[in-house]
């Protein structure tokens, strides 16, 4: 079969039927767009590679539920943007854990702890820029989602802790975080805040 002459819709339909060559063709066609969308949010190429890979994995796993009457690329890029947000949140949590280890080790007089998390000035600048960009997007959220998203993505509180601090039901917190992520993904896709 000549995959070069198939429309995007035909490729998606073949991929839904399990055609591995169609999956490969979709990847080759859209990999650059996905990489372009997420690369500005990460300091390291490895993080970009992880998000690109995970985005395609998520999209291909959900392909059977994809409406073939819609365009594939916007759907895929939305998945990539949401995956990037999740990855940024994960990186932030890891940094906070390392900082906690460093502080504990320093408090105990263990200088090896300081070596564990030392970063170069350039890395700190890039991390600050990513954090500032994320905060700009969060600041643009409707107030209904802003407080919950700050507590979730910046303060890294668990759902239950957020519910307790804000006096909300646990399911309300879950819903607001999910919708807040959707709003963030849409804003990032449109590039509304730079």
With 0.85 as the threshold, say if the pTM is over it.
Answer: no
pLDDT, tens digit (0-9, with 9 covering 90-100), for 162-185: 999 999 898 888 888 888 888 887
- Cα separation of 128 and 5, whole Å? 45
The pLDDT tens digits for 25-45 are 999 999 999 999 998 888 788
CATH assignment of 121-194?
Answer: 1.10.10.10
**Cα–chain center distance at 22:** 26
Is residue 194 pLDDT above 50, yes or no? no
Cβ(73)–Cβ(36) below 8 Å: no
For range 140-149, the mean pLDDT: 86
Biggest CA pair distance of the chain: 67
pLDDT score, position 106: 58
Q: 116 with 102: CB under 8 angstroms? A: yes
Three-state secondary-structure class, residue 108: coil
Q: Is 143 exposed, middle or buried (0-12, 13-18, 19+ CB in 10 A)?
A: exposed
Res 186 pLDDT > 80: no
Tens digit of each residue's pLDDT (9 = 90 or more) over 80-122: 999 998 888 877 666 665 666 656 555 665 554 444 455 666 6
Q: At how many degrees (to 10) do helices 8-16 and 20-39 cross?
A: 120
Supply the mean pLDDT for the chain: 81
Q: Which two tokens stand for residue 89?
A: 């949140």
How high is the pLDDT of residue 17? 92
Q: Which residue has the tokens 């994809």?
A: 66
pLDDT, residue 28, reads 92
Residues 70, 94: Cα–Cα separation, whole Å: 37
Sorting pLDDT into bands at 50, 70 and 90, what band is 134?
A: confident
Q: For the residues 148-153, what does the mean pLDDT come to?
A: 86
Contact 73, 27 (CB under 8 A): no
Residue 61 in tokens: 């796993």
């Amino acid at each position: 079969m000549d995959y070069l002459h198939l429309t995007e819709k035909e490729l998606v339909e073949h991929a839904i039927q399990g055609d591995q060559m169609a999956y490969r063709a979709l990847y080759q066609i859209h990999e650059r767009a996905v990489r372009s969308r997420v690369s500005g949010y990460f300091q390291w190429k490895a993080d970009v590679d992880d998000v690109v890979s995970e985005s395609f994995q998520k999209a291909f796993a959900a392909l059977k539920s994809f409406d073939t009457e819609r365009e594939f690329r916007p759907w895929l890029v939305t998945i990539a943007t949401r995956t990037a947000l999740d990855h940024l949140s994960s990186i932030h949590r890891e940094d906070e854990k390392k900082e906690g280890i460093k502080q504990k080790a320093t408090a105990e007089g263990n200088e090896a702890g300081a070596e564990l998390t030392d970063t170069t000035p350039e890395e700190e600048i890039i991390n600050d820029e990513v954090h500032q960009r994320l905060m700009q997007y969060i600041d643009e959220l409707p107030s209904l989602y802003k407080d919950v998203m700050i507590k979730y993505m910046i303060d890294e509180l668990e759902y239950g802790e957020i519910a307790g601090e804000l006096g909300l039901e646990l399911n309300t917190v879950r819903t607001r975080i999910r919708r807040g992520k959707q709003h963030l993904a849409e804003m990032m896709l449109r590039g509304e805040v730079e």
